[in-house]
Amino acid sequence: MANSASGESIIGRVVKIVSAFDDRHPAMSVAELGRRTGLPVTTTYRLVNDLLLERLLEREPGGDIHIGTRMWELASRGSKMLGLREAALPFMEDVQAVVQHSTTLGILDSDEVLYIERLGSDRTIVDITKIAGRLPVHATSSGLVLLAHSPAAYQDAFLARPLTKFTETTLTEPAALRRHLAEIRQRGFAAMPGVIVPESSGIAVPVFGPDNTIRAALSVVVPRNEENAPARVPVLMAAARGISRALGLARRAEGDAPAKPLKALFAVHR
């Protein structure tokens, strides 16, 4: 579906263009955009112009292009992300205030962890999570929690793929991972000695929705050598329950089906 020589559709090319921007490259010239996307020069200019007209991109005084306000607005307005984020934010603040290290909220998307909110702190050591950033599932505490509570079919499919070993401690063999996931379900949390950045380690707990399926993972990043890391867990769990409750209330307020009681929330399922 495309007029293009390369066989891409317009939409695909637009995605390419928008994808060229990230926190490291928030603005660039059209020519550079063309280079980064690999699109023909003329085509890049034409598409960028169309996107400028719709205000999905914006041109700044210098001539450089950056993602437009409209794009953010459209993406946010109808997104379910906002609901989850808004429900979670107050609880995340509480956690952040107590733990004093950065607190993140992540979801499972395209076999990766996508962080949708993050509260940093000055004390935060090394923490590579960014809002709208991605990290591998099997190498993060958030990812393991999300995976542990996902449907069996999904887990099987995930574990069937080869996994990259980031450090010595990264689990990559299906059997070992399965055992670890079971442990996570039993304990109710995942603790990961910094897999990507060795100095820090993460602790994550699951956040369930009104239908008792997993929605997100709430996690904190603490220094690795900290001895009382498990002491953080109760705070996280309490916060996670709070978020679940808030999600239920939000749904009920919309005149939706009444939320089920949260009794069996932390029960092991699968």
Partner DNA sequence: TGTCGGTTCCCGCTCAATGGTAATCCTCCT
Partner DNA sequence: AGGAGGATTACCATTGAGCGGGAACCGACA
User: What residues line the site for its own copies (CB under 8 A)?
Assistant: 1, 9-12, 14-15, 18-19, 21-23, 25-26, 50-51, 54-56, 66-67, 69-82, 86, 89, 93, 107, 109-110, 114, 116, 119-120, 131-134
Phi, psi of 124 (to 5 degrees): -50, 130
3-state SS class at 206: strand
**Distance (Å, whole) CA 178 – CA 147:** 10
Q: Among 17, 20, 21, 39, which residue interacts with DNA (rule: CB under 7 A)?
A: 39
196 binds, among DNA, its own copies, none (CB under 5 to 8 A by kind): none
- Provide, rounded to whole angstroms, the least separation between the CB of residue 225 and its own copies: 27
Please list every residue from 61 through 100 that binds DNA, using CB under 7 A.
63-64
Asked if 31 is part of the footprint of DNA (rule: CB under 7 A), the reply reads yes
Binding flag, residue 164, DNA (CB under 7 A):
no
Residue 60 lies near DNA (rule: CB under 7 A):
no
Separation CA 195–CA 169 (nearest Å) = 7
Please identify which residue in the block is written with the tokens 């939409």.
11
Indicate the residue among 211 and 226 with the shorter CB distance to its own copies: 211
Cβ atoms 152, 270 nearer than 8 A: yes
Using alpha carbons, select from 179, 111, 173, 117 the residue that is nearest to residue 140: 111
Q: How far is the CB of 36 from DNA (least distance, A)?
A: 11
Contact predicate 159/137, CB 8 Å: no
Q: Is 40 in the site for DNA (CB under 7 A)?
A: yes
